[in-house]
Structures are given as structure tokens and as C-alpha cells.
Structure 1
Amino acid sequence: MTTQKPTGIGKLFAAACLIEGLTWTGLLIGMLLKYVTETTDLGVWLFGRLHGVAFMFYVVVAVLAALRLRWPWWATTLAILAAVPPLVTIPMEIWYQRRGFLTEKPAAQP
């Protein structure tokens, strides 16, 4: 376990996790307003589009972070799968930060 703060691509990944989670929240609230209270579909219209863009951004950043930070295959797979269920990217990012996945590893010495 490490307490180093993320830098570079690690910060970008953390931001992508937050954005993806916030747009999921907006979409869930929009679905509540549209399907439960039947008051408006504006939330689904707006956050559906925002979340679609945020999801694609998150996947691209996750793959770039995995390559740049040399994640093991299971961490890369978990990061991509975390975008599917609502709000999983936020606790996953916290866990990745604690595990040291968001900081660059020193180059191997010859």
C-alpha cells in the first residue's frame, strides 16, 4: 500500500473516474424523474449524452493509464469493467490510489 499522490496520467485517470461517476449520478436522477415521477425527460436527454462521452473518455484514459503505468492485466480489465455498473469507478479509483497504481514506477535498473 502506498500514499503517493497520482501525477500525470494518474491524475487524468482520477479525473475521468470522477467525471464518469458524476454523469452516472445525473443519468440516474434523470431516469428517476422520467420513469418514476414522470415529470421530465430532460435529465435523461442531457445526462445520457454527457455520460456517453464521459464513458468513452474514461475507457480511453483507462487504457492509456494501463499502458503508461504498466498495470497488470487484471487491473486493466477491472478498470474497464468498473465503468459498466453505476458509480463503481469512484471507489475503484480510491483503491487504485491506495495500491499505488496511479503513480509511475521507477525504471528497472540494468
Structure 2
Amino acid sequence: MLKSFKYTALSEGVSFLVLLVNMLVIQPLNVDLYKLLLKPIGMAHGILFILYIVLAFLLKEDKKWNFKDLSVIILASFLPFGTFYIDAKYLK
């Protein structure tokens, strides 16, 4: 399950960054690419985010994370590059 969480964390982080670039760079250019990419990227990111949270709770007992660790792991999913930090610090 740890390997699945690692892949989910990295995928969620990448999808978050792609979504941010799509919203902050492509949208202001009024390119049709924005409209084309927003729904599928947003949907994928939403599913990966939910999966990340669920897997974090499932791994809590196995990895013996305390409340502080779990809180940091969950809060990191709200920050750009946060899941990459979690991968480096908690998932070794």
C-alpha cells in the first residue's frame, strides 16, 4: 500500500502543478487549450486528492504516524510541491 501511496502522492502533486499552470499561465492567454484541459485535469486532480487523503488515513496505523505527522501529510496536499516534500520526508 505504501507504493500505491507514493505513486498517488507524486501524481497528485504533478496534477496540482499542471492545474495551477493551466489556470495561471494558459487561461490569461485566452487560449482554447485552457478550456480543453481544465475539465480532465481538474477531474483527475480531484480523484487523486481524495485517494491521497484516504490512503494517508489507511497508512496511519501501518507507518505509526502520530496526529502531527498525519496533519502535516494531509496539509501538504494543499500546497504546491507539498506532496513531493512528503515523499522525501515520510515515505522513505
**TM-score, normalized by length of structure 2?**
0.85
Higher helix fraction (1 or 2): 2
SS of the residue 1:84 aligns to: coil
Name 1:58's counterpart in structure 2.
52
Alignment of 1:32-51 (within 5 A): 32-34=25-27, 36-40=28-32, 41-51=35-45
Pairing partner for 1:82 from 65, 76, 79: 76
**4+ residue segments displaced more than 6 Å:** none
Q: Decide whether the 8 Å contact of 1:10 with 1:65 is kept in 2.
A: yes
Unmatched runs of 5 consecutive residues or more in structure 2? none
Paired residues in the alignment total 89
> Match of 1:96, as an amino acid?
Y
Of all paired residues, the percent bearing the same amino acid is: 27
**TM-score, normalized by length of structure 1?**
0.73
Structure with bigger gyration radius:
1
Unmatched runs of 5 consecutive residues or more in structure 1? 1-8, 99-110
> Match of 1:81, as an amino acid?
L
Distance apart, 1:75 and its partner CA: 0.6
Distance apart, 1:92 and its partner CA: 1.7
Corresponding position: 1:19 with 2:11:
yes
